[in-house]
Structure 1
Amino acid sequence: MKLSFRIKHHFFSAFREIFVHHHGSLEFRAKLFALVIAADEHAKVENFILVKSLALQIYDGDSDRANLLMLSTKELVQKVREKNSLNLDNLIGSIVKELKIVPRYAKKIDTDMLKEFLQYSENEDVLAYQKNILEFLEQLKDETLKSM
């Protein structure tokens, strides 16, 4: 990444809510990606390359926004790995809470897109856990959309 983007990222990290358009939406997507990635303690760099690729599709080629989504996802995964302030249960709770506040975010849950991360899981237990997470997200999406 370019130095200018790194500087901009550090600045935006501090003031993300103020400067990033639809910050809540971007953070929600980052939580979804992070939930699936962090379920694998040995997640590979390919997961984050996939996040950026998917983000470019989501944001119609806007590379700045795609980079912000990738970096936000990476930050969340790192917090889960450090096991100091965030774990998968907290992340799930946060997603559920946000859906109660902003039900339209349920439309952003694309389990077909999230399934693409399963190709990088080598452990069968991790793969089964990730599949359960995807089933949970699909059910959560359906329930939320029905209640709208």
Structure 2
Amino acid sequence: MAFNLKHYIFRAFRELLLYHHSSLEFRAKLFAALIAANENYSECELDIVRETGMALYGEADRANTLRLTVEEYLDKVFEDNGLAIDELIEDIMNDLKDIPRYADKISIDDYRKIIACCEDEENRIYQERIVDLYQRLKDDYEKRRK
């Protein structure tokens, strides 16, 4: 109960309560687009998101917030409310145009762990193509900054 209340408050006031919320949102979009490519995703993917959050942030609250934000994006994608994988990826690309240093936040190794959770060959191939796109975006924006 306390966790749900805390999540609700964080969700409603994320921009005010969370330091560098836009960076966390960007990472959440990256994970969500990749996970959404597997319609039958499981706790495996979400556990990897949380583990990655712990490695990145070193604190459980922020790691849980990353996971919950990914889940919010996944809910939006699967509820068919105008946000699909293509729109999510387009949003990622727009974020990179606006803030090129976000390319440093693209972590290909973490996305490969997500792909390992997928059992369906077609979904895995789709996820691999998304990771390939992320790699190209990362490389392109890193070159531009040099």
Q: What are the Cα deviations for residues 34-80 of structure 1, in whole angstroms up to 9, with x where unaligned?
A: 011000011112211111111101112x0000000000001101111
Are 1:75 and 2:72 counterparts? yes
Partner of 1:24: 22
What is the letter of the counterpart of residue 22 of structure 2?
Answer: G
User: Which of residues 80, 84, 90 is equivalent to 2:81?
Assistant: 84
Query: Cα offset for 1:122?
Result: 1.1
Q: Equivalents in 1 of 2:72, 2:45: separation in Å?
A: 13
What is the letter of the counterpart of residue 104 of structure 1?
Answer: R
Partner of 1:129: 126
**Gapped runs of 5+ residues in structure 1?**
none
Query: Cα offset for 1:18?
Result: 1.1
Query: Cα offset for 1:5?
Result: 2.9
Q: Equivalents in 2 of 1:50, 1:138: separation in Å?
A: 19
Q: Equivalents in 2 of 1:57, 1:4: separation in Å?
A: 25
**Gapped runs of 5+ residues in structure 2?**
none
Query: Cα offset for 1:85?
Result: 2.5
Coordinate RMSD, CA, aligned: 0.9
TM-score, normalised relative to structure 2: 0.96
Please give the residue correspondences for 1:1-148 in structure 2 after superposition, counting only pairs within 5 Å: 3-60=1-58, 62-148=59-145
Query: Cα offset for 1:6?
Result: 2.1
What is the letter of the counterpart of residue 136 of structure 2?
Answer: Q
